[in-house]
Structure formats: structure tokens, C-alpha cells
Amino acid sequence: MKRVLVILTGGTITMVRNPQSGALRPADVETFKAFVPELFAGNVEVDMLPFNPLIDSSDISPANWTRMANAVVTNYTKYDGFVILHGTDTMSYSASALSFMLENLSKPIVFTGSQLPVGVLRSDAKENLLTAIEIAATARPDGQPMVPEVTIFFEDSLFRANRTTKKNAEHFEAFDSYNYPSLAKAGVHITYRPHLIRYPETLSPLFTHMHTCTDVAILKLFPGINEAVVRAVLNTEGLKGVVLETYGSGNAPSAQWLYKALKQATDKGIIIVNKTQCSMGSVDMGQYEVAKNLLKAGVISGYDITTEALLTKMMTLLGEHPNDTDRIKHLLSIPICGEMTISK
């Protein structure tokens, strides 16, 4: 019998309504378990490891990423796969972070949650959870795990975690992976697409990167953005990395003050990566004149990476190699676990 460890962090899936205020808040683990007796009656042995207390994912911090990663590492040899129950709001951040924190992963870690609490009649909780467990327990004919990656399963799609974004606060189809196809689709059967799944080339031991650095910022450009705002962000005390959200294929205003502010920041050793505000497509700083200033200012291309993946990749690399800017820049400009595709 396959064994799966379900790590409960919280989120709507675990929530009940507060009778006084009417607002949703995380329940305790026993209440949650009582709603899903089928978890313990199937052909997969399921154990639960709850955060205490369970939390809304708006309260998730890098310390919680480390806690999730540690829970996997501590139990790595005991289980065939892992499911992490998590609120949807910041699930893409946590799942992306874990993909960078756990190098040489050879077992499935499937994040899931739900849009309606488990106790609500029309809830999507049970289907998401039961399918996530099945995916975490599924092996190929050679006995190796079918999806040895960090993934998100939601509604009917299994996505590579570091390609996802929460796209909908209302529909059951809450996530998308705009720049990479789904790894599996769940209908009557779960149909896997092995040619899209990352399989380890060699079976190396799991290697962890548990340190993250929070001296980072996201700077989103908009028409009319002024110098004082840009400088306030770039002059933030201790700042080490910036996700610069640009237009289209990675374009920015050609104003000299912007170029100068960015150049001064990169000269100081601040790493700036260009991420397009578009959900689909890639940064290409060679295409338009207005992007050339960014290149000259030392800004790196983020190609088709998501903001969630770029930010968490930066935080992990800055945490692991605090004094090696060149190495971080190099690792940010190449895919390290399937998080981006370098366009030709």
C-alpha cells in the first residue's frame, strides 16, 4: 500500500464559519478529519501532519515555507508522496518556494485547497484532496513516482507549481499555468503527460535550501509613475533584489531618470529582473528601443517566469548565496527547476 503524508497548513479547505461574525476561519484538525472519513478508507495509507493552529494563507511567511519543507524532509523516506493543504491566496508563492528549496526532489509534493470549505455541500474540497492524494501515490510501471515535482492540483488540472498563478477568486478553476501546459488532467481517469513532467536525470540525494531573504521588492511600472516612487523603492535600506514588472515584451518608459535610477541600483549590487506584466509570453529586451535602456542598466531578463516564481527564486538564492551576486544573477537567468523557458 502506498503511503501519503498530508500536511495541513490551513486555508478555506479547512475552514468553518464563525457563527458570530459570519466570516470564515480555520477549524481544528479533528473537525476537518470528521468531514473526510473516506481519506482513511481508501487504498492509500494517509497520515496527517497539521500546523497548529491552521492558518489563512494570507498569514503564510517564509518561516512557514521552511516548516513545510522540513516536514517533507523529515518524513521523506517514510512516504511515497506528500500533499500540502494550503489556502489558495498565496498557494502559488509557497508551492513555487518549495520547488526552489528542495533540490533533486524525486517524490511528488502536491499542493491543493478549495474555494469552498470542506463542510459546505457544494464544496470542491473532497475532489481536490482525494485526487491530489491519488496523484501523490501514483507510480509509473517502473515503480518510480509518476510526478516527482512540486505541483498544484485544482479542479481538474495538475500544474507545475512554479508556473502557476491564482487567477480566479470565484470559480472552482482557481489556478492557471499560462506559459506551460498542464502535467495531467483529471476526468473519469487521470491522464498524465509524461513528456511534460520533469524526471530527475540521476537519482541524487535531496538537497535543501532552507534560507530565504526578504530584502526584495516588486516594482510595478504604470504610465505616470514618478521618480520619487521609483527611488523610494530602489533606495530601501538593505534592498538586494527587485522584480521589475514591465509592459508587454519587457518594455519600460525611456525616461533618463528611470535608466539612471536603475543603473545606480544595479551598480550598488541590487539585482533587478525584468518580468512582463502580461500573463502569457516572454520578456525580450532586444525587441524595442524602449527596452534597451533596461539592458544597459544591468537589468536581467525573466523570460516567461511568473512573479510568484521569480520572487521566491530570488528570495531563495539570496538566502543561500548572500555574498555571491554573480552566481545569483547567473542562476536567475537560467531555468533551475522548470520555472521558465528561454525564448530563442
Task: For ligand ASP, give the closer residue by CB, 12 or 306.
Answer: 12
Residue 125 or 285 having the CB closest to ligand ASP: 125
Quick check: 12 binds ligand ASP (CB under 6 A)?
Answer: yes
- Contact call for residue 123 and ligand ASP (CB under 6 A): no
Cell of 78: 517514510
Dihedral class, residue 285 (left if φ above 0, else alpha if ψ from -120 to 50, else beta): alpha
Site for ligand ASP in 44-73 (CB under 6 A): 56-58
Active-site annotation holder among 9, 12, 88, 316: 12
- Min separation Cβ 11 and ligand ASP, Å: 4
Nearer of residues 57 and 246 to ligand ASP, judged by Cβ: 57
Query: What DSSP string describes 239-283?
Result: --EEEEEEBTTTB----HHHHHHHHHHHHTT-EEEEEESSSSS--
Given a contact cutoff of 8 angstroms between Cβ atoms, the answer to whether 313 and 321 are in contact is no
Stretch that binds ligand ASP, among 5-13, 46-54, 150-158, 307-315 (CB under 6 A): 5-13
Q: Cell 522548470 sits at which residue?
A: 338
- Residue number of the CB atom closest to ligand ASP: 87
* Residues 6 or more apart in contact with residue 284 via CB below 8 angstroms: 249, 250, 291, 301, 343
Instruction: Tell me, yes or no, if 236 is annotated catalytic.
Output: no
CB 335 within 8 A of CB 341: yes
Q: Kindly write out the interface string for residues 73-92 of this chain, putting x where it contacts ligand ASP by CB under 6 A and - elsewhere.
A: --------------xxx---
Residue 308 as a binder of ligand ASP (CB under 6 A): the answer is no
Q: How many residues bind ligand ASP (CB under 6 A)?
A: 11
Please give the helix or strand (H or E) that residue 25 lies within, else none: strand 24-26
Between residues 103 and 127, which has the closer beta carbon with respect to ligand ASP?
A: 127
Please, what is the minimum distance in Å from the beta carbon of residue 36 to ligand ASP?
16
Place of cell 491519488: 134
Q: How far apart are CA 334 and CA 284, in angstroms?
A: 14
Of the candidates 50, 113, 148, 250, which one interacts with ligand ASP according to CB under 6 A?
A: 113
Q: Single out the residue of 76, 88, 73 nearest to residue 128, CA to CA.
A: 88
- 155 is a contact residue toward ligand ASP (CB under 6 A): no
List b or e across 300-322, with b for residues whose CB sees 16 or more CB atoms inside 10 angstroms: bbbbbbbbbbbbbbbbbbbbbbe
Report whether the peptide linkage leading into residue 181 is cis, meaning its omega lies within 30 degrees of zero: no
Q: Which lies closer to ligand ASP via its Cβ, residue 87 or residue 148?
A: 87
The smaller minimum CB distance to ligand ASP, of residues 117 and 302, is found at: 117
Binding flag, residue 245, ligand ASP (CB under 6 A):
no
Q: Which of 4, 7, 11, 107 binds ligand ASP (CB under 6 A)?
A: 11
Binding site for ligand ASP (CB under 6 A): 10-12, 56-58, 87-89, 113, 115
Residues labelled catalytic: 12
